[in-house]
Structure 1
Amino acid sequence: MDNTKKAWLVVFSGLGVNLTLGVLYSWGIISAALIDDFNWTATQTQIPYMLASAVFAITMIPGGKLQDRFGPRPVLFFSSMLAGIGFVFSGLNLTVAGLTIFFGLVFGLAMGFGYSSPTPAAVKWFHSDHRGLVSGIVVSGFGLAPVYIAPLTSGLIELFGLPIALMILGFLFFLIVFTLSFFISNPSDGFEKVKLKKKSRRVHRLATKDYKLTEMIRTSQFYMLWTMFFFGTFAGLLIIGQMSKIGLEQASISNGFLLVVVYAIFNFIGRVTWGTISDFIGRTATLFTMFAIQAVIYFLFSSLRNPLALLIGKSIVGFTFGGMLAIFPVITADFYGVKNLGVNYGVMITAWGVGGVVGPLLGGVARDVTGGYEISYIVSAVLSVAGALLSLIVKHPEAVNNKAESGGA
């Protein structure tokens, strides 16, 4: 098999892994069943989800470090085992404590180790002109997963009940991730990166060295990017965790998995689209555009009271949120190099984990206390405006260093 075919095999195998682990974005189906069939409160349903999001992000750091050092295969094998255990034992322990441990902690670990490997591996195979496209394809699996997982989960719950449904999903996830782990690898040293026929029309400023983690976190740009990542994902994660109930209570949409599927499709489209756009107009210009769109839709969100309007609004949120997950791996690679991308992006994506805790918590508490989500929407809109402003300020660390050294104003 030639190198180009190997590179694309890594990309689409990584897409398959993320299609499997993206069950997190179908949590709205599970949380609705917990409320309706097991009398959980909205806040209680967000505890396992919040912990899974946090553990997912934190585990990206050791997962990324292991990926950089040993390659993705052993990391993905470990992820497949944790995914199976997490879901099977969640089905056997349908309590707040049980799901917090087995979904929140164990499956959160599976996601962290599983997600940390495919994107850095795929990006390392391709020329920098195509990082946005490649990253967008790989991470799109996580966003697209609810298209099949939501109706599958809903159908399994209807046929067998929630406990058996979770156990079936556990066996399925183990088999898929385990199999795909054999097709994902890092390129060898000295490998000539794959270039596509269609070239980017923009020259991207790249790191002239591979930054170690300790060097990256000493730059001010890291903290600006981290904050922007948090702002960008906070709003999307708030919506995902409460999707079915928002649809029902705000626009009388009773078909919960329809909302999940529509959101997922646009999340998928956003990841590939914004990743590709960033190859042409630049990463920060793309981030500004996404934040601006997100701000507008969140200021309008509480007024979206009919089903079509709410579907359009959620689609736009999914479109911009998906783009965030495609852009931040490649802007991390552009700013800090690809050699240590696994661990560097692992630290960067902790912003997603914090957003995964704060966003759903605010959504759940706001719903329980006020009976609606208006406060959450306003907070999300304001943070999106702040993210847009930061995207106008952040510059490549080496551009700032060169300017300082030359004494330029």
Structure 2
Amino acid sequence: MSTQNLKNKNGRLLALIACLLVTFCMGTIHAFSTLIQNIEMQAGVGRMASSFVYSTGLLNVTLAVFFGHVLYRKFSPNVLITLIAILPIIGLLFSNSGSWFGWIIGYGFLFGFSSGLGYGLSLYIVSSITKDKKLGFALGLVTASYAFGAVVFSMLYPMLFKHFGFENGYVMGLGILSCATFVGLFLFITSKVKINSLANMSNKNSSIKPKILKLWTGYFLGVFAGLMIIGHAVPLISSYGGSSIISVTAITLMTLGSGIAGIYAGWLSDKFGCKRPLLTILIVNSFSIFILSITTSINLILIFLILIASIYGAVISIYPTLVSHLVGNNLSAMVYGRVFTAWGAAGLLSPSIAGWLYEQNNNYNSSILLTLIMSIAAVIIIWNIKYSIKH
């Protein structure tokens, strides 16, 4: 291998590590469950109001990915990573006021947008610097890193709160992730990689729009079950007589399973393309939901909850690669931004619908049946997508 090729390879590796570090830090927004009770006590609000802080965050994650291609075109990655690092710190000025509105602005808007920008930018950078035959695995690593950030900070935040109090512990937590993001910025600058320019989609709308509609619908239906299960894992387990220890164990294993499955699914998409693994995963998802609907064994319920959450991680890992294969790498950032709104819609709707159905029936049977129907519909949608790799 020549010296220049070795430098390029090392540069790409540094850039990948930088992106993994950024997404790890920005994935911590999903450790919100460790904050919710403290926010309620600090701001003097109820569960619905405190949950709205996270809903606002999810909305802004989605908006950041949707509009990300505009920012990628106008600003360099160095500027954007700097923005990603400082927005959560600026948000502290609002959340430290102790008011509900301050949390909405600081956590929901600023941290939420920073999280989505970090995730979307990392996907864009990694797509630009990775060879096609390794693209799925690389994007799977990015998605998994985003999930692992939530896992680690779900354990770190309670430790910080116990030793330093909620307000100081939260400041320290954000300080850690901001510093780590700046380390990612240093690694990216050191890598000296060149990022591909984005294409304009205006002259290709007629051929791209039908693909976007199918991809959006398949994504919405495919992740609905996973998001519902993750959002209602604790009350669902409790409704079957599971203990709080089982609930905590389930959430930890579900999140870990989601991240690990994302890496493996990315590797599968490199070996077999995206469509076959995605179809297989969604069929297994439908089978798992069906078993969940008929079993009453808490051990089986735990196993299939972890499996469904892992499948969710696999789906969100494969989808960026699927979009890149179908529309080409130069359009993937723009198209994925639009398709990603399906995740945002499912994230906002699935927990609410599941909660409403539970209140109507005093059980989760109707919710599980709905997710089964939607998972089967996702299989049909993905089956009908014409798959070919566009370079």
TM-score range, shorter-chain basis? Answer: 0.7 to 0.9
Q: Deviations over 1:298-327 (max 9, x none)?
A: 233355655533331222122111112211
Q: Which residue of structure 2 lines up, in the alignment, with residue 179 of structure 1?
A: 183
Q: Higher relative CO (CA 8 A, sep ≥ 6), structure 1 or 2?
A: 1
Cα pair 2:28 2:149 within 8 Å, conserved:
yes
The percentage of aligned residue pairs carrying the same residue is 20
Q: Which residue of structure 2 lines up, in the alignment, with residue 75 of structure 1?
A: 80
Read off the aligned partner of 1:360 and give its amino acid letter: P
Structure 1 pair 189–325 and aligned structure 2 pair: CA distance change class (3 A): closer
Between the aligned partners of 1:141 and 1:277, the Cα distance in structure 2 is: 18
Q: Give the alignment of 1:340-379 within 5 angstroms.
A: 340-368=331-359, 370-379=361-370
Q: Deviations over 1:45-67 (max 9, x none)?
A: 43222221121111113223322
Q: Is the counterpart of residue 151 in structure 1 residue 151 in structure 2?
A: no
Cα pair 1:64 1:344 within 8 Å, conserved:
no
Structure 1 pair 87–261 and aligned structure 2 pair: CA distance change class (3 A): farther
> 1:76, CA displacement in angstroms?
1.8
Partner SS state of residue 154, structure 1: helix
Of 38-47 and 3-12, deviating more is 38-47
Q: Which residue of structure 2 lines up, in the alignment, with residue 298 of structure 1?
A: 289
Q: Is the counterpart of residue 65 in structure 1 residue 65 in structure 2?
A: no
Q: Give the alignment of 1:86-105 within 5 angstroms.
A: 86=91, 89-93=94-98, 95=100, 97-105=101-109
Structure 1 pair 216–115 and aligned structure 2 pair: CA distance change class (3 A): farther
Q: Which residue of structure 1 lines up, in the alignment, with residue 321 of structure 2?
A: 330
TM-score (norm 1): 0.82
Cα pair 1:251 1:305 within 8 Å, conserved:
no
List gaps (5 residues or longer) in structure 2. 1-5
Select which of 167, 174, 181 maps to 2:171.
Answer: 167
Select which of 61, 82, 89 maps to 1:84.
Answer: 89
Q: Which residue of structure 1 lines up, in the alignment, with residue 222 of structure 2?
A: 232
TM-score (norm 2): 0.86
More helix by share: 2
Select which of 202, 209, 220 maps to 1:219.
Answer: 209
Of 101-110 and 116-125, deviating more is 101-110
Q: Which residue of structure 2 lines up, in the alignment, with residue 15 of structure 1?
A: 20
Cα pair 1:230 1:355 within 8 Å, conserved:
yes
Cα pair 1:210 1:338 within 8 Å, conserved:
no
Between the aligned partners of 2:45 and 2:294, the Cα distance in structure 1 is: 28
Cα pair 2:29 2:112 within 8 Å, conserved:
no
Of 364-373 and 105-114, deviating more is 364-373
> 1:125, CA displacement in angstroms?
1.2
Read off the aligned partner of 2:310 and give its amino acid letter: F
Select which of 121, 138, 145 maps to 1:141.
Answer: 145
Between the aligned partners of 1:278 and 1:348, the Cα distance in structure 2 is: 19
Read off the aligned partner of 1:115 and give its amino acid letter: Y
Aligned residues: 381
Q: Which residue of structure 1 lines up, in the alignment, with residue 3 of structure 2?
A: none
Q: Which residue of structure 1 lines up, in the alignment, with residue 383 of structure 2?
A: 392
Q: Which residue of structure 1 lines up, in the alignment, with residue 302 of structure 2?
A: 311
Select which of 123, 128, 142 maps to 1:119.
Answer: 123
Between the aligned partners of 1:393 and 1:8, the Cα distance in structure 2 is: 36
> 1:180, CA displacement in angstroms?
0.8
The alignment yields a C-alpha RMSD, in angstroms, of 3.1
Q: Which residue of structure 1 lines up, in the alignment, with residue 265 of structure 2?
A: 274
> 1:261, CA displacement in angstroms?
1.9
Q: Deviations over 1:354-390 (max 9, x none)?
A: 1111122223434555544333222222111111111
Between the aligned partners of 1:36 and 1:302, the Cα distance in structure 2 is: 37
